[in-house]
Structures are given as C-alpha cells and as structure tokens.
Amino acid sequence: MSERNYDVMQVADGRPIKMWTRGVPVEDQAREQLARTSTMPFIFRHMAVMPDVHLGKGSTVGSVVPTLKAVIPAAVGVDIGCGMMAAKTTLAALDLPDSLAGIRSAIERAVPHGRKPGKRDPGAWGGTPPPAVDAAWGELAVPFAALVAKHPVLTRTNNRVHLGTLGTGNHFIEVCLDEADAVWFMLHSGSRGVGNAIGTYFIELAREDMRTWMVNLPDQDLAYFPEGTEHFSDYVEAVEWAQHYARLNREVMMQNVIGAVRGVIAKRFETHVEAINCHHNYVSRERHFGEDILVTRKGAVSARAGELGIIPGSMGARSFIVRGLGNEDSFHSCSHGAGRTMSRTEARRRFTLSDHVAATAGVECRKDDAVIDETPAAYKDIDAVMQAQRDLVEIVHTLKQIVCVKG
C-alpha cells in the first residue's frame, strides 16, 4: 500500500479536511476559512484541499466541497465555469517566426479582451458578433430565456456580447511549446459577465433565505440552498447553464485564436481533435463512496482515472497537461494551477516593473504596470505544487509559454 500523501486537519464540530499541501505554503486565513466550511452539517465525509490553496472571496480557492442535499453558491463563486482549454497543433517551434509580436497582435485583434467602463468596452463584441458566436449562442438562447422568465433581473447582463471573449485578471491566452517543441494553444476564461451576474444574484438570494429562516451561520458566505427548495432548483439550473456558456466561450475563443495564427503563419497546420476543455470553478453531480452527492470544485479540476486536465503555471512558469489517477480521497480532483501566495495589492506593493520584465524574459507578453499583480513571483512554485499532488495526477506534457495575451 502506497504512503498517504496528504495531511488531515481536524476541526472541532467539523468534518476532517484532507490537505495535499506538503511542501507548499498555506495561509492561516485559508485554514480558518476551510475550517468554517467544514462545520456545515451537510458536508459529506470530508473536504479535500489542493496544493494551490489560498484564501478566496466566498470560499477557499483550491478546495473541493462535497455536499449532501445542499449547495453553497458562494463556494462556486461568481466566475462560474471558469476553466481551461488547450489544443495541440501540428506546428513545431521551427515553424514560428523569429519575432512573435505578430502572433500576439493577431490574437489580440481576434479575441476581445480587457475591460474599460463606458459605452465601448474592448472586452465585448462591438456591433454584431461574428457567426461563430451566434452559432454558439443558439445552444444557449432558449434555456437562458427560461431562466430570465423566472429571474428577470438577469435580462440586462453581458451575455451574447461576451461569448467568445477573454476578460481580465488571471484570464489569458497562450502559445506554448511542449517537451518535444510541438506548438500548443492554451486559454483560461469562464462565463464572463453573465456568469458573474448569476453568481452574485444567487449568493444574495441564499443570504436572504438564511435570514428568513433565521439560520445562524459561522460566515455569511456559507449561506446555502437546501435540496427541495425553489431556489435550489433554480440555482442548479442557472449554474449548469453558466457552465455550458463557459465551455462554449472557450471553444469560440480557441476557434478565433487558431484562425488568427493561421493568418500570420505561412505554413498550413491543424489542431488535434482531442482538445482538452475543463472547468475549475463549478458544481457537479457525482457519485462517491456509494452516495450521489454534489461536488463543488473551487479552483480544482476533475481528475478521474484516465481523464486529461490542464494545470497552468504563472506567466513565466511551466504548465502541465495531466492525466487523472482517480484518487477517491480527493473526490477525483487535482489543483487548477499554482495558486497565489499573496494578494494582488501585496504583489503591486512588493514587485517592480523591472522584476516583472526579468521574470517574463523570453515570453512575448505585456510588460507594463497593469499586470504586475500577475507576475510569476506572486504565485507558488508550480514544481512544488505538482510534487504535492503526485498521487492525484501524472504529467503527460510539460508546456512553456512563448506568447501570453492578458486582459
């Protein structure tokens, strides 16, 4: 029998918390946040914590929260369905131009990104979205209309105009090379403005329900919907719709990235059919330890036996294509990335633009003050993170980014 690779945090009046965090730092505030969640009466068996764990808004990033007959909207968060997509191409490093600036510029033109308040948001489609967006929206329009009929507040959201767009923060599009110098495209985004609106709306509904029922909570972010209630059903319907939106959002972006690169590279190329598209902020109906439960992964990826996933590093670090090992104690999960070691504010205070330029040497990317909070040193050591979860996944490919587009 192999040696156990996790530690257990026991909490008074709470479920055990199994932590795959050996060799990586964990903030005291994150431990306290995890402990509060573990005391909820509907937590199933134990919680699982991934090595990229850190304090999060609403819930701890890097946590796997299994529940019986209840769901916590703030544990899913507002970036519903946020996740990764990667596609291997038939291109090799030698097929790329010496200067990668043209590839980066082509991607930036093809995919709306960033955000500026006002009438013309560069992160949304201006005018009529392209045909690929309309085709994807065709899968979403009817169920969204049904959702809006019950919750009219969701009418005025950035939905169709955000489909196929990147966003801001830690969302990115990258061109990478693997260990054999094959070219990959990889991107990170979620359900954009409409997902944020759905998450924010239902989080507040859950808090209102707790006040109505006079439920005493250790943290208002643990407000929940019990199964069998109207809001539980509506939330599950809404979150599943947002997760579908997020998956399609990544697919449309990937199509546009491929088209953009084809426009600036002379050599004809294809992408492999088996592209990987995985969520890491979501809730899923699954069966574990003989029970049908809801599994909320907040900054965690499904890692069933044989299942492919993506674990990105920071802007200057390596990323990994992985295969799940089906570890039941982790509820078949792994980390979603390296995980932050400090807040964005602290990163801006601590690091200079010169630090960021040095850390991203060799990567064609933004090197300005606005992205210092995303500098590699603000994140955990990805190699330590991978070592801590060696019983959750195996590495299939190691990727190094050469182009990075940030919102």
For 21-87, the DSSP string reads -TTS---HHHHHHHHHHHTSTTB-S-EEEEEEEE--SSS-EEEEEEESSEE-HHHH-SSTT-EEEEE
Mean of the per-residue pLDDT values of the chain:
94
Residue 119's pLDDT band (boundaries 50, 70, 90)? low
pLDDT for the residue numbered 117:
67
Domain boundary assignment for the chain: 7-341+379-400, 345-378
Task: Check if the beta carbon of residue 203 is closer than 8 Å to that of residue 78.
Answer: yes
* Residue pLDDT, tens place only, 306-340: 999 999 998 778 999 999 999 999 999 999 999 99
Show the tokens assigned to 330.
């982790």
| Segment 103-116 mean pLDDT | 93
pLDDT for the residue numbered 126:
86
| Range name among 115-129, 210-224, 391-405 with the lowest pLDDT average | 115-129
Predicted TM-score of the model (pTM): 0.95
pLDDT for the residue numbered 405:
95
Is pLDDT at 274 greater than 80 in this prediction?
A: no
pLDDT for the residue numbered 3:
75
pLDDT for the residue numbered 63:
98
CB atoms within 10 A of CB 187: 25
pLDDT for the residue numbered 118:
63
Gap between the Cα atoms of 36 and 208, Å rounded: 20
Percent of the chain with pLDDT strictly greater than 90: 85
Residue 241's pLDDT band (boundaries 50, 70, 90)? very high
* Residue pLDDT, tens place only, 127-167: 788 899 999 999 999 999 999 999 999 999 999 999 999 99
Query: Which of the following is catalytic: 188, 231, 336, 356?
Result: 336
| Segment 51-75 mean pLDDT | 96
Task: Check if the beta carbon of residue 324 is closer than 8 Å to that of residue 276.
Answer: no
pLDDT for the residue numbered 315:
78
Long-range contact pairs involving 14-18 (C-beta distance under 8 Å, separation at least 24)? 14/38, 14/39, 14/43, 15/39, 15/43, 15/44, 15/45, 15/46, 15/47, 16/46, 16/47, 17/46, 17/47, 17/48, 17/49, 18/46, 18/47, 18/48, 18/49, 18/329, 18/330
Exposed/middle/buried for 290, CB within 10 Å: 0-12, 13-18, 19+? exposed
Residue 273's pLDDT band (boundaries 50, 70, 90)? low
The class that CATH gives domain 7-341+379-400 is alpha beta
| Segment 353-359 mean pLDDT | 91
* Residue pLDDT, tens place only, 28-62: 999 999 999 999 999 999 999 999 999 998 899 99
Is pLDDT at 280 greater than 70 in this prediction?
A: yes
Look up 288 and say whether it is catalytic: no
